[in-house]
Structure formats: structure tokens, C-alpha cells
Structure 1
Amino acid sequence: MKHYILLLRGINVGGKNALPMKDLVSILDSLGAVEVRTYIQSGNVVFEASKEAAAHIASKLGPEIKRRRGFQPTVLVLSQNDLRRAIERNPFPDAESDANRLQVGFLADAPASPDLERLGTIKLESERFRLDGKVFYLHAPAGVGTSKLAANSERLLGVPMTARNWKTVCRLMEMAEARAPK
């Protein structure tokens, strides 16, 4: 069994798409996940599974949440190596101490035709971004919540994405490594 990181997009935000973590854990258990651990209430999970079970979870979790809760979030399952690679390839290491303003966007697929030019025209002068395959890095020193770049990046990349701040990304890696066999 290997360690995987599950990211759900758009749950428990502003009172919408409510999904208690205990219910998420129960659903994951029913789909074959083992040693399920959640981090905060926004759909961050570390679990163990075989490669086949992880693929099954990735394809069945969204529909199962829809069946039980009435909405279907975007579901991304990353291997521990995928997450490690995203951390190691961070193009803005100087921003790591600004963990809430450094975002890592995990994409469902590598964009076929991202509009990087448009992304460049809407960003603030202080903002930086980089697309690296299925990972979109964004440093927004003035704040992510008010950033036009952050608000429009998924649409201009053209593929589903869910973003996490640097602190959350690192915490998920710590959780996965803590579960790793010795």
C-alpha cells in the first residue's frame, strides 16, 4: 500500500456544500481507503491504498458524495511522490515564509492551451505565477482573496483546479511522511 493525498474542491466554504469530515472518512472507508486522516475542514485527506484502490476512489468519490450529500466536488488524488515533486519544484522558495499568500494549484490535467498571456496581463505587478505541468504556483503578496489572477486562473488555464496554501501543502506532506512505513 502507498500513501495518497486527496483534495476536494469547494466543500464547507461559506456554508455551502457541507460535508463533515467524519462523513468523508466513512465514505472513503467504504471505497477502500485505509488509515484515513483529514486536515482542517476543507477536503484535505491523507490515506493509504493500493494503486488500484486509489484509482477507484478517484473515480467513485465524487459520484458517491453527490448520491449522499447532493453535490459533486472536484476530486483530485495525488501520490505522495506527486506532492513531494510539487514542493520540491516550487519556483518561489523566497515566498515560503509567506505561506498564506503562496498557493499551489493542483490541476486535473496538464492544460492543452492555457492562456498564460492573459494571466500575465491581469496579475498585479507584485504577483508571480508559474505553470509546471499539472501544478500552478501563485504568489500573491497583497493577498489571494483579492487577486484577480487567483480568481481567474482556473478559467484561463482551462482545466479543473483546486488550490492550497503553502502551509497546507507542507502539512499534508508531513502527514503522509508520518504514515510512511519505517
Structure 2
Amino acid sequence: MTTYAALLRGINVGGNRKVPMAELRDLMEELGHGAVRTYLQSGQAVFSRDRGDEESLAAELAAAIEKRFGFAADVIVRGHDYLRAVAEACPFPAADLQPKQLHVTYFSAPVTEDRYAGIDRAAFLPEEFALGDRALYLYAPDGLGRSKLAEQLSRPRLNKDLTATSRNWNTVLKLVEMTAPARD
């Protein structure tokens, strides 16, 4: 059995695209996922599955959500090893920052620096970003809601042909913890 996190994009935001977590858990159990747990109301679920790959599991869940709830939701599925590696590879001093200052955007596919070449990084200082394995790390000292750099990074032209969903550092660490193999 492998434990995964499903990251749903854009649900339960501003009272729109509602997906009650209890119903999401039921739906995932109907799909054959085991040990289903959710975290917060913003679209994180952890589950176990003995077969399947991240892309097919994400596509299956996205199709089931659309059928059950009547709207499309982007889904990214990642396993514990990947989630842990992303957290460990953070280029910013996470232990010294407030969790609201650090975010990770998970991508459905790899991205390169070329995609962001048009952004004048110096113009946004002290905000910074760095790329990782299918991830973007954002340091926003005043939080995501006030971040001008986050606004630039989320422009559709930059994320064309990708599914992207962001999580704050607390959620990044909680998903690593929730997907960790059980200790004997």
C-alpha cells in the first residue's frame, strides 16, 4: 500500500464549488481508496491505494468529483517520498520564518526557469521564488494575500498547460506527516 495526498484546486473558496469533506471522504472510499482522511476544508485528502500511479489516481478522482458535485476540479496526487523531498529541498530558511510567509505551489508537470524569465525578480524584493521538482517555493514576508510576486506568478500565461495549486508551509508539513508510513 502506498499513501498519497490528493490536492484539490479551487474548492470551498468564497462559498463556491463546495465539496464537503465528509462527502469527499465517502467518494474516495467508493473509488477503493483506504484510510481516507481530510485536512482542513480547502482540499487536501490523504489515502492509501495498492495500485495506480499519481496521474491516473488524480484523473480518476477529478472525474468522480465532477460527476458527484457537478463541476470540474483540478487534482494533483503525490506520494509521501515526493512531499517529503519537496519540504526538505526548501531553499528558504523555513524554520526561521512564519508559516504564512512560505508557500509551495505544486505543479502537474516539471517547470523550468524559462517559464518565468520575464519576471523581474529584483522588482519584487524582498519577495522571492525558487523552483524545485514540480514545485515552486514562494517567500512572501507579508503573506500571500499581499504578495505582488504571487500575483505575477499566478498569471494564466505562465501556468499554461499545467495544473497548479498552492499550500502554505503548515499544510506542506502536515501533508508530509499525514502521508508518512506508520511506525511499528
Q: TM-score, normalised by structure 2?
A: 0.89
How far apart in 1 are the matches of 2:128 and 2:113? 20
- Aligned match of 2:131: 131
Q: In the TM superposition, what is the alpha-carbon distance from 1:68 to its structure 2 partner?
A: 1.4
Alignment of 1:1-182 (within 5 A): 1-52=1-52, 56-94=56-94, 97-111=97-111, 114-121=114-121, 124-154=124-154, 155=156, 156-158=158-160, 159-177=162-180, 180-182=182-184
**Deviation at residue 111 of structure 1 after TM alignment:** 2.6
What secondary structure is seen at the aligned counterpart in 1 of 2:100? coil
Counterpart Cα distance in 1 of 2:2 and 2:94: 31
Residues 105 and 135, structure 2, Cα contact 8 Å, conserved in 1: yes
Checking the alignment, whether the CA contact within 8 Å between 1:28 and 1:57 is kept in structure 2 is no
Distance 1:90 1:134 in 2: 13
* Deviates further, 3-12 or 94-103: 94-103
Unaligned runs of 5+ in 2: none
Q: SS at the partner of 1:115?
A: helix
Q: How many pairs are equivalent?
A: 181
Q: TM-score, normalised by structure 1?
A: 0.90
- CA positional deviation for 1:118: 2.4
Q: Provide closer, same or farther for how the CA distance between residues 114 and 43 of structure 1 changes in structure 2, counting only shifts above 3 A.
A: farther
Deviation, 1:137, is 0.3
Cα RMSD for the two superposed structures: 2.1
Tell me the alpha carbon deviations over residues 90-134 of structure 1, each in whole angstroms, 9 at most, x when there is no partner. 000256531112000100101367432223358521101001130
**Which sits farther off after the overlay, 50-59 or 160-169?**
50-59
Identity percentage of aligned residues: 36
Q: Secondary structure at the match of 2:167?
A: strand
Look up the equivalent residue of 2:165 and give its one-letter code.
Answer: T
- 2:79 and 2:179 in contact (8 A); partners too: no
Are the counterparts in 2 of residues 123 and 149 from structure 1 also a CA contact under 8 Å? no
The alpha-carbon distance between structure 1 residues 54 and 29, as it changes in their structure 2 partners (threshold 3 A), is farther
The runs of 5 or more residues in structure 1 that have no matched partner are none
Rounded Cα–Cα distance in structure 2 between residues aligned with 1:113 and 1:94: 22
| Distance apart, 1:152 and its partner CA | 3.1
